[in-house]
Every structure is written in structure tokens, then in C-alpha cells.
Amino acid sequence: MELTVDMAINWMEIARDKYKENKETLTMLDQAIGDGDHGINMARGYQAVVEKIAETEYDHPADVLKSVAMTLMAKVGGASGPLYGTAFMNMSMVMKGKTVDQKVLKEAIDHAITGMKQRGKSEIGEKTLLDVWDQVSSYLDSEDLSEPKEIIEVCQAVVEDTKQIQATKGRASYLNERSIGHEDPGSMSSFYLFEALAEVLEK
């Protein structure tokens, strides 16, 4: 595989569509263990992302992702805006000047994780979106991406698993053990993001 400029743009368009379609799901998940704004945050943020990248010319996918990062940081508030902004900025830094093959994509995702850990002062296993990113990284390390849609199953399982975890970061942590039994909204939004990526890679 090679992630091209057109694929990076298409990734964001599909993600925007998913966030629009599933806004209510994200809202409901965040109402249960947060403040209920995650659906609106993501839908609004990715609408702005698609508008921004439609009006710009790009030579390299790293530049697309840099625009995504800056737009998410500017337009999405709360915890998730800075976190996703950092993720895309770090992915862009790794991809810069390179052919984005599976190895580079994996390195980019790893650098995104490093950045989000720093920003969120969080670790894997704390019932956050990091849990999904971590499993995508492992998947890219162990599989050859001949069936990109497997990524969707991997992410789905992680979202399901976040139900069992007690949140120790973000608003959900205020609920202590009452956060158990609910899926993490940020993990669900990362699921949609990687579902969109899998669909682009499948094409």
C-alpha cells in the first residue's frame, strides 16, 4: 500500500460522513460518562477539516494531515480536539518526505500515540481513545494489510473492551467505578476514523 494525497483527502471525507451519520451515537456515549459534546465536537471538527482541505492544493499526504491537525486544534474543543490535533500533527511529521507505506503508517501511528500520551498524561488501558490506536499499531506490526477491513474488527473489539475498564483519565474518571459498563466515546470516534481508513485502503 501507499497512502497518496487523494487517499488522505478521501479518508477525511469518509470520516466526516461517519461522524455526521453517527453523531447521536457519540453524543449518547458521552452523555453516559462525560458531558455529551463528543458527537458535536467530532461532526463539527471534521466538517471544518473537509472544507479546509478542499480549498488547498497538496503535494504530499503529510501536508494534508498537517492541515487536519491545525483545523482540529482550532475547531474542536474539549479533550479530544487537542488530542486528535496532536495525533495528526505527529503523523504528519513522520510521513514528511516519505512514501507512506505500511511501515511508515505504523511509525506515524506510534508517534501519534506518543504525542497523545504526553498531552493527555495518559497510558494505554485507561479507557481512552489511546486503547484503539494502540491496537491498530499492533495490527499494522503483525499483519500485511492484504485485508484492511480486519482493522475494523480489531477496533470494534477494543471499543467493546473499554466497557470493562474503569476510567482514570478525562471526565469519565470523575465517575470512578460507575464508568464501568459504558463504552468510551473517544474510542468509538477513533473506531470511525480507522473504519474510514480501512475503507480507503480497501479501494
Write out the residues near Mg ion by the rule CB under 5 A.
30, 34-35, 37-38, 78
Quick one: 35 or 153, whose CB is closer to Mg ion?
35
Quick one: 37 or 195, whose CB is closer to ligand ADP?
37
Report which residue's Cβ sits closest to ligand ADP. Answer: 186
Shortest Cβ 36–Mg ion spacing (Å):
6
Shortest Cβ 42–ligand ADP spacing (Å):
7
Contact 76, 84 (CB under 8 A): yes
Alpha helices in the chain (DSSP H): 5-21, 23-33, 38-54, 61-75, 80-95, 102-120, 130-142, 150-162, 185-202
Shortest Cβ 40–Mg ion spacing (Å):
9
Choose the contact partner of 179 out of Mg ion, ligand ADP, none; CB within 5 to 8 A by kind. none
CA 24 to chain centre: 18
Quick one: 76 or 198, whose CB is closer to Mg ion?
76
Quick one: 71 or 187, whose CB is closer to ligand ADP?
187
Contacts of 136-145 spanning 24+ positions with Cβ under 8 A: 136/109, 136/194, 137/106, 137/109, 137/110, 137/113, 140/102, 140/105, 140/106, 140/109, 141/106, 144/102, 145/1, 145/102, 145/201
Rounded Cα distance, 169 and 174, in Å? 8
Shortest Cβ 198–Mg ion spacing (Å):
26
Write out the residues near ligand ADP by the rule CB under 6 A.
30, 34-35, 37-38, 41, 78-80, 83, 116, 120-122, 128-130, 169-171, 184-187
Choose the contact partner of 137 out of ligand ADP, Mg ion, none; CB within 5 to 8 A by kind. none
Quick one: 120 or 148, whose CB is closer to ligand ADP?
120
Choose the contact partner of 169 out of Mg ion, ligand ADP, none; CB within 5 to 8 A by kind. ligand ADP
Q: Is 166 helix (H, G, I), strand (E, B) or coil?
A: coil
Cα-trace Rg, the chain: 16
